[in-house]
Amino acid sequence: MAVSVSNDAPVRTPRILAIDAGGTMTDTIIIDRNGDFVIGKAQTTPDDESIAIANSAEDAFDYWNLSLQKGMKSLVAGVYSGTAMLNRLLERRGQKVGVIVTRGMEDYFRLERGVQTHLGLSYADRLHVVTHRHNVPLVPRERIHGVGGRVDMFGTECIPLYEDDARRAVEALLDEGVDAICVNFIFSYRNPGHERAVKRIADEVMAARGHQVPVLLSVDICPTRLDFPRLNTVVIEAYAAEPSRRQLYRVREKFHSLGASFEPRIMAGHGGTISMEAGQLSKTLVSGPIGGVVGAKYLANRIGIDNVVCSDIGGTSFDLALITGGEYSLKGDPSIDHFKLNLSLLEIDSVGAGTGSFVRVNPLSRRIEIGPDSAGSRIGVCYPDNGTETVSITDCNIVLGTLNPDYFLGGELKIERALAVDAVRTQVAEPLGLSVEKAASGVIELFEESLRQAVLTKVLGRGFEPVNYSLFSYGGGGPVHVGGYTSGLSFRDVMVPAWAAGFSAFGCACADYEYRFERQMDLGIPPESSPTEREVLGRSINEAWDRLRSEVFGEFAKNGIAETDVRIKPYVRLQYMGQLNDIEVLSPVARIGSAGDFDRIIDAFEETYDRVYARSARSPELGYFVTRVVMTGSVDCEKPALPNHDLEGATPAASAEKGTRPVYWRDRWIEARIYQMEELRSGNVVEGLAVIESPATTFVVPPRRAARLDEYRIFHLSASGSAKA
Amino acid sequence: MNYTPTAHRTTSGPRGWDGKSLREMLLDAERLVKETGHCFGLERIAMKEEEPIRFEKIFSRLRGSLVNARETALNISASPIVKELGELCFALYGPEGDSITLSTGILVHVHTMSEAIKHMIRTNYEENPGINDGDIFINNDPHIGNVHTADVQTFVPIFWEGELIGWAGCVTHVMDIGSSTPGSNAVGPTTRYEDGLTLPCVKCGADDRLFRDHVYRCERAVRTPMYWSLDEKTRLAGCHMIRESVRSLIREEGIGTYKQFIRDVLEDSRRSFIERLRQLLIPGVYEAPAFMDSQFAAETRLPDESRKDTMMHAPMRLTIDPKGRLGVDFEGAGKWGLHSFNCTPSAMAGALWVLLTQTVMPNDKVNDGAHYATDIHCPRGSWVNPDVSTTAHGNAWYYLVPSFGGVIRSLSRAFYARGYVEEVLSGYGHDGNILQGGGIDHHGNESAVSNFEMSCVGGGAGIVKDGLDHAAVVWNPEGDMGDIEAWEMVEPLLYIGRGVKMDSGGVGRRRGGAGYECMRMLWNTETYELQFVGDGAVFSQPGIFGGYPPGSGYRLAVKNNDLLDVFEQRKPYPTGDKYSDGKGVTDLVKGNVILDKRAVDLPQSYREHDLYLSVMRGGPGLGDPLRRTVDSIETDLLSGVMSPAIAERAYGVVFATAQDKQEIDREKTEARRREMREARAAKAVPARAWVAKERESRVVPKRFAEPVTDMYRSSMTVSPQWARHFRTFWKLDDSFHF
């Protein structure tokens, strides 16, 4: 499917390739010098991903009449994102890993944390204990060995390391034929001595046996607090990430054999891209939903806005993230699927409501329930022979006329409106005693209300009001509902990029080449600390920053990048003394030279804390606690250009008009004007009620609102009359 | 949160709607439900019928704001109990104190908070101390509305144009409440004067700020002031978030709509609950008692009258009438006692609520409407409803949790009869052990600890699957045990083992969920007081349909031991007590061993390097163990959930070789099971004959252990009705008494 931002046809010079390798399909997006792009598709080839990626790229280049070789030679950058690593984990197809833990903790994966039995369940199922289940262990009990020894929370050795245990464990795991050995001891981030000693012993044993396997220490992979999420993270690195690294090498070889000269980078969970050589590849475990947020940040930066709500509607979920002061926030202890992890992941809230969400009327209470399950790629009842009989959100949109049954995915899919009408009538309208249109419209109102609530909650939760933010809407379903879920919220601006459907892939191409390293500190600052005490503390932080900086430089050095080319940003994570939840602040100073410098960091923390938790929760009387220090380093890399078109008049050209069709809006049928998105010109204003169609998405402009297309081909949705060209 | 003071700031006077007092509103509401059977006398739910979409929109919006308040505010707390294990809950109430919607969390308190609000209304707080916009109230009194003093509630009234239109409430389980013994589940208090800080619906702030004298009083009264302070801020910040959400909703929807909505939604939930019961359960009368031990005869530090071994008796009769009304009757519960395990009707009603939300109504549309569709009877003078206000309730949970075991077994029978086999549970695990105590910790501070790993005990077995292993507890289905590195930040004890507890789940065709055990070593403290809290001599969950109870608990500690030498010489040290006989520990470490079934005791001093074993209990089993598949048994043996000895004794397993008990001989097992069945048949007598025999050999000659005699005596004294029931069943004459 060729998706082009506009129908202008300049000479094509492909610059950037972004890959979204899904479980079924591999998409590639190729962006040219002007910011135009095409999307290529191919069936995923799990045994060797490079085949599907090459096929998909070839498909894309084909739309621009370029050969694969010619196109590849022209590219200067490529970014990979995909689900292969996550799928390997979820389907338990990882490497054979052996694990060494503190003695007595060999049941880690059987016990898990109780929370892993109900993570991600719906509200109702979280209450309903018979639905809770344990995960299948990543590593069976017999390949987990305990080694005597203990270190306490201060780093003091309380039980000496039982070196003979360690030797026996390594021997036994090698006898089992493991591919890798992971080591995770309690409080190793405070004192790595025991883990390092085990590594030394393992090296000796392996040298004697003449057989080497990688030994991964938790202190090297994620030196941060909480032993079980840390163990998950280290084991996932060996179990799922290392096999992915081998796959990625093949992708790189393939590209180079086709004449490409760039080094492909991988999208990581913290929002930057990293090299295939990175020490910790599990940072790239989740990359899919990250792209849109990174793209939004890039766009916001280019057009000069600081605060953005990113909203993305797909078939199964509504994903939300905030960019505040030009930065998105990261979560240090995210949950992915049913795993608690210790790695930094861009903070995205996912609401289980998408365009495929099922709609039911509870037969007992006669109240409407939306989701949590979804028709997903099966769309809904309106798509015949897809195996679902339950009404979905898309069915309701088809009934209302907001979606065009003859132009679904540009007409590639045959949709039957009559099926949707029948299903809505029998399943929703009749039980509620409403007309079909009224019922479908009610469901959409309810759906959009829940999204609106999620958006509002997210903004208020950061201590802001909608008026402080602009909202971006993208994903296939975003522009259909954006009018509804922003209704009555006074956002500064509501924006829909014309390439909303490909926005996530576009976003991956916008990511910085960036590493992020963290270290647990656990430094207390008593309420009445002296300037000297704060200076001493500052020195510890400086030292940690220095160490992290050399780790960042070390990663870039693997790809031959000089230290002078790396931009460095220091962060501190703080909380009030005793608390268990910290807040990350960008340090206003590069080094802490005085107590005053330290106070500036505290001020930044207090300011954020007030906003998030209300002033009454401020507790400076307890003192402060530095949990972690963080360092990021980034280097310049090729980014997509933004299209920049001359502004034309407010009235769309005749070629953009596709006539009218009746659309049911809240309580009546209205004859809505229909437009072809690609034919609209920068400067055009579309008054609601109107439907702007493109092959991959539909943008609904509600009554009394208008959408103006700007020079970057971004729509701005505002109150009718205010949208001046 | 943006707070705009309203003009309405007088100190006292009616706060209700249309010039009424709240008290008048509450009495009206109670009269209407009594007269009509409908909440507020609503024959029809007009808003839902006329505007179903708008009704739903408002509901989802309010619920969203509560869930969000909880998720945001818990980050303020310092306590792993609140932050890591989620021991908090928010609810929004109508002006009369009925819950409208709630967050997730410890749902037991949605109803106890309702009782506290109603107490303030009934006792005319409008007049004195006054209820004004910006006020803050705090409560933890079990006699008003609570389970025990460690569950602390904060309330903020919500006003609109001078009328009180609702209340935001939050509860957190605090780490210490200043009882006579440290920790949040105080075992030791014998009267309420030892239960610690009691705050009986106290006005503790105005203008959205806490009174300074209140802050000082609380900080001086508890052992963990920092945790107290942050927990209080957590509750208050969340209540303010809820208040703001309600105000913003009213700004959009109008006050008239809001008022109608909170009425309609209550009646709607009442009806849905009844419909659901009618659909899921077979009507009838179900009886299932529960018991629990407390052994204090040897406890010299208690007053004379408390120093005895006793049994808790919770006879339980569940009635589901054909119209779908549910009743729970504890008639026959024994007398209240001079111990900290007494409960109030508020606690009992809260517990019923939490059980129902996990079984018959696990959905997002629950509120106090369900309360109006249930009846609970707590006989006055019994331990479930003391007739004096001086009783101690420090660890009411210790009796409360087991007493509802019969409810879940009865519901399971009713589910089973209807064919909802997936819903059947044989019961739940008892929530112990609680490692609890206090002293100077590893940071050099005065401290108290209440380890909440008992949020993850074994679950009851189902018809279609085994019980959930070590992942939930009846009062919090979202169970979690937290990380070792989190607990060691607050407790001066190292974990030197944390593993699945063998044979802890009840035997059965489907086995009960396994518990787990933690071996702890005191570290970095000179001396620290610790106690054990859990079942010991008896089990409270007997299993169902032929399944067996889970293993009951015990206590194991090794004081003044030689661990330092063990470490020095790199000898193996104990990480658990594999076979629950102490041998795995005492073979490796020498010292003063405490090993017995007195699994609930008073705090005693421990020193650095002393060992303390904390065992989290398993769940009860379901069905005949001889019908458990050999494949399942093999898996259990391999994973360490089951010992070969139990496989042989309870499941009839025959191993291929006697020495290496790993491989099961399937043929010989089948033969052995046949023999066991035949032996059972040979021993079996008709139930009537067994009852007759027991009557002659045990009941008539009153041949019971002393605590059991004492238990029956107490039940018969408190309840002549239950005494008749007992005499009728055993065919005894009217003069029979213990």
pLDDT in tens, A555-582: 999 889 999 999 999 999 999 887 878 8
**H-state helical runs in B153-254:** 212-221, 225-253
Residue A366 corresponds to which amino acid?
R
Same domain, B225 and B154: yes
pLDDT value for A456 = 85
Instruction: Report which of B374, B274, B376, B288 is spatially closest to residue B324, judged by C-alpha positions.
Output: B274
The predicted model gives A501-511 an average pLDDT of 85
Euclidean distance between CA atoms A669 and A692, whole angstroms: 18
Alpha carbon A81 to its chain centroid, in Å, reads 11
CB B441 within 8 A of CB B491: yes
pLDDT value for A503 = 85
Q: Which two tokens stand for residue A580?
A: 């268990």
Q: Where are the beta strands (DSSP E) in B73-184?
A: 88-93, 99-102, 136-139, 151-160, 163-173
Instruction: Report which of B83, B353, B479, B628 is spatially closest to residue A132, judged by C-alpha positions.
Output: B479
pLDDT value for B61 = 84
The predicted model gives A229-237 an average pLDDT of 95
Of B237, B471, B497, the CB nearest to A104: B497
Tell if the CB–CB gap between A365 and B104 is shorter than 8 Å.
no
Q: Which of A500-514, B206-220, B225-239, B297-311 has the lowest mean pLDDT?
A: A500-514
Q: What pLDDT digit, counting tens, does each position of A520-565 carry?
A: 998 888 888 899 999 999 999 999 999 999 999 999 998 899 999 9
E strand or H helix that includes residue A212: none
Q: What pLDDT digit, counting tens, does each position of A155-198 carry?
A: 999 999 999 999 999 999 999 999 999 999 999 999 999 999 99
Of B53, B104, B364, the CB nearest to A442: B53
Tell if the CB–CB gap between B496 and A367 is shorter than 8 Å.
no
Same domain, B617 and B653: no
- Cis amide leading into A689 (omega within 30): yes
The predicted model gives B661-680 an average pLDDT of 95
C-alpha separations of B691 from A657, B206, B696, B722 in Å: 89, 64, 9, 19
Tell me which of B226, B249, B271 is where a domain ends: B271
Euclidean distance between CA atoms A265 and A263, whole angstroms: 6
Q: Which residues of B touch A154 (CB under 8 A)?
A: 442
Euclidean distance between CA atoms A296 and A77, whole angstroms: 19
Q: Among all residues of chain A, which has the CA nearest to that of B422?
A: A130
**Domain contains B136:** yes
Dihedral in degrees, nearest 10, Cα atoms A413, A418, A421, A427: -90
Scanning A181-210 for CB atoms below 8 A from B yields 186-187
Instruction: Report which of A236, A244, A294 is spatially closest to residue A269, judged by C-alpha positions.
Output: A294
CB B314 within 8 A of CB B289: yes
**Domain contains B165:** yes
CB B426 within 8 A of CB B512: yes
Q: Which residues of B touch A194 (CB under 8 A)?
A: none
Find the angle CA(B439)-CA(B442)-CA(B447) to the nearest 5 degrees.
35
Distance from CA of A707 to the nearest CA of B (A): 25
Euclidean distance between CA atoms B424 and B416, whole angstroms: 7
**Domain contains B385:** no
Distance from CA of A318 to the nearest CA of B (A): 15
Same domain, B521 and B642: no
Same domain, B223 and B162: yes
- pLDDT greater than 70 at residue B617: yes
Tell if the CB–CB gap between A576 and B208 is shorter than 8 Å.
no
Alpha carbon B341 to its chain centroid, in Å, reads 12
Mutate one of B62, B172, B570, B571 to test the A interface: name it (highest A CB count within 10 A): B570
Q: Which residues of B touch A219 (CB under 8 A)?
A: none
Scanning A225-244 for CB atoms below 8 A from B yields 225-229
Q: What pLDDT digit, counting tens, does each position of A478-488 carry?
A: 999 999 999 98
Distance from CA of A723 to the nearest CA of B (A): 25
Tell if the CB–CB gap between B78 and A576 is shorter than 8 Å.
yes
Output the DSSP codes for B468-506. PPSSBBTTBSS-----HHHHHHH-SEEEEEEEEPTT-SP
Q: Among all residues of chain B, which has the CA nearest to that of A487?
A: B252
- pLDDT greater than 50 at residue B737: yes
Mutate one of B480, B563, B569, B571 to test the A interface: name it (highest A CB count within 10 A): B480
CB B377 within 8 A of CB B328: yes
Q: Which single residue is written with the structure tokens 């610059």?
A: A15
Mutate one of A580, A609, A666 to test the B interface: name it (highest B CB count within 10 A): A580
Of A106, A114, A613, the CB nearest to B480: A114
Which backbone phi and psi does B185 adopt, to 5 degrees? -125, 65
Same domain, B536 and B560: yes
- pLDDT greater than 80 at residue B10: no
Q: Which residues of B touch A117 (CB under 8 A)?
A: 468, 471-472, 479
pLDDT value for B4 = 45
- Number of domains observed in the structure of chain B: 4
The predicted model gives B690-713 an average pLDDT of 96
Average pLDDT score, chain B: 93
- Cis amide leading into B142 (omega within 30): no
E strand or H helix that includes residue A319: strand A318-324
Same domain, B618 and B629: no
Same domain, B603 and B629: no
Same domain, B106 and B192: yes
E strand or H helix that includes residue A184: strand A180-184
Tell if the CB–CB gap between B57 and A106 is shorter than 8 Å.
no
**Domain contains B318:** no
Q: Which residues of A touch B442 (CB under 8 A)?
A: 152-154
**Domain contains B170:** yes
The predicted model gives B66-87 an average pLDDT of 80
- The verdict on A591 touching B (C-beta cutoff 8 Å) is no
Cα atoms in the 13 Å half-sphere on the side-chain side of B478: 24
DSSP 8-class letter at A166: H
pLDDT value for B6 = 47
SS3 per-residue string spanning A385-417: CCCCCCCEHHHHHHHHCCCCHHHHHHHCCCCCH
Instruction: Report which of B539, B578, B531 is spatially closest to residue B555, judged by C-alpha positions.
Output: B531
Same domain, B724 and B588: no
Scanning A132-161 for CB atoms below 8 A from B yields 132-134, 141, 146, 148, 150, 152-154, 156, 158-160
DSSP 8-class letter at A475: S
- If one counts every other C-beta atom within 10 angstroms of the C-beta of residue A172, the result is 15
pLDDT value for A725 = 41
Q: Among all residues of chain B, which has the CA nearest to that of A622?
A: B226
- pLDDT greater than 60 at residue B582: yes
Bridge partners of A328, per DSSP, are A323
Query: Residue A309: is it exposed, middle or buried by C-beta count within 10 angstroms (0-12/13-18/19+)?
Result: buried
Q: Which residues of B touch A163 (CB under 8 A)?
A: 570
Euclidean distance between CA atoms A632 and B158, whole angstroms: 45
Mutate one of A115, A322, A583 to test the B interface: name it (highest B CB count within 10 A): A115
**Domain contains B334:** no
Euclidean distance between CA atoms A715 and A46, whole angstroms: 38
Euclidean distance between CA atoms A489 and A468, whole angstroms: 11
The predicted model gives A339-360 an average pLDDT of 89
At B310, the pLDDT band (50, 70, 90 cuts) reads very high
Scanning A7-46 for CB atoms below 8 A from B yields none
- If one counts every other C-beta atom within 10 angstroms of the C-beta of residue B663, the result is 11
- pLDDT greater than 80 at residue A294: yes
At B435, the pLDDT band (50, 70, 90 cuts) reads very high
- pTM comes to 0.91
- If one counts every other C-beta atom within 10 angstroms of the C-beta of residue A211, the result is 10
Tell if the CB–CB gap between B364 and A368 is shorter than 8 Å.
no
Bridge partners of B329, per DSSP, are B317, B377
Q: What pLDDT digit, counting tens, does each position of B460-509 carry?
A: 999 999 999 999 899 888 889 999 999 999 899 999 999 999 999 999 99
Output the DSSP codes for A1-35. ----SSS------EEEEEEEE-SSEEEEEEEETTS
| Parent domain of B154 | 17-271
Same domain, B653 and B710: no
Tell me which of B244, B271, B298 is where a domain ends: B271
- The verdict on A467 touching B (C-beta cutoff 8 Å) is no
Q: Which single residue is written with the structure tokens 């024994």?
A: B334
Q: Among all residues of chain A, which has the CA nearest to that of B499?
A: A107
Distance from CA of A524 to the nearest CA of B (A): 12
Q: Name every residue whose Cβ is closer than 8 Å to that of residue B201 and which is 6 or more positions away in sequence.
A: B116, B119, B120, B125, B137, B138, B139, B141, B144
C-alpha separations of B256 from A449, B52, B248, B589 in Å: 20, 17, 14, 72
- Cis amide leading into A229 (omega within 30): no
Bridge partners of B605, per DSSP, are B529
Of A111, A162, A450, the CB nearest to B470: A111
Of A152, A160, A614, the CB nearest to B240: A614
Task: Determine the angle formed by the axes of helices A393-400 and A417-424, rounding to 10 degrees.
Answer: 110
End-to-end CA distance of chain A: 31
Q: Which two tokens stand for residue B51?
A: 């505007």
Mutate one of B496, B520, B636 to test the A interface: name it (highest A CB count within 10 A): B496
Tell if the CB–CB gap between B484 and A580 is shorter than 8 Å.
no
Of A115, A225, A460, the CB nearest to B485: A225
End-to-end CA distance of chain B: 62
Distance from CA of B488 to the nearest CA of A (A): 7
Tell if the CB–CB gap between A580 and B362 is shorter than 8 Å.
no
**Domain contains B392:** no
Tell if the CB–CB gap between B56 and A128 is shorter than 8 Å.
no
Q: Among all residues of chain A, which has the CA nearest to that of B484?
A: A227
Q: Which residues of B touch A450 (CB under 8 A)?
A: 60, 64
At A387, the pLDDT band (50, 70, 90 cuts) reads confident
Residue B244 corresponds to which amino acid?
E
Mutate one of A103, A113, A129, A338 to test the B interface: name it (highest B CB count within 10 A): A129
Tell if the CB–CB gap between A110 and B469 is shorter than 8 Å.
yes
Bridge partners of A371, per DSSP, are none
The predicted model gives B429-436 an average pLDDT of 94
C-alpha separations of B47 from B58, B247, B488 in Å: 11, 20, 53
Tell if the CB–CB gap between A159 and B573 is shorter than 8 Å.
yes
**Domain contains B226:** yes
Instruction: Report which of A333, A336, A129 is spatially closest to residue B471, judged by C-alpha positions.
Output: A129
SS3 per-residue string spanning B543-596: CECCCCCCCCCCEEEEECCCHHHHHHCCCCCCCCCCCCCCHHHHCCCCCEEEEE
**Could you tell me the strand order of the sheet in which A657-665 lies?**
A657-665, A668-676, A690-693, A698-701
At B368, the pLDDT band (50, 70, 90 cuts) reads confident
- The verdict on A617 touching B (C-beta cutoff 8 Å) is yes
Tell me which of B214, B242, B271 is where a domain ends: B271
pLDDT value for B2 = 41
Distance from CA of A544 to the nearest CA of B (A): 22
β-pair type (B516-522, B527-531): unpaired
- pLDDT greater than 70 at residue A3: no
Same domain, B175 and B229: yes
- pLDDT greater than 50 at residue B325: yes
Same domain, B584 and B675: no
Tell if the CB–CB gap between A106 and B499 is shorter than 8 Å.
yes
- pLDDT greater than 50 at residue B408: yes
Euclidean distance between CA atoms A536 and A519, whole angstroms: 18
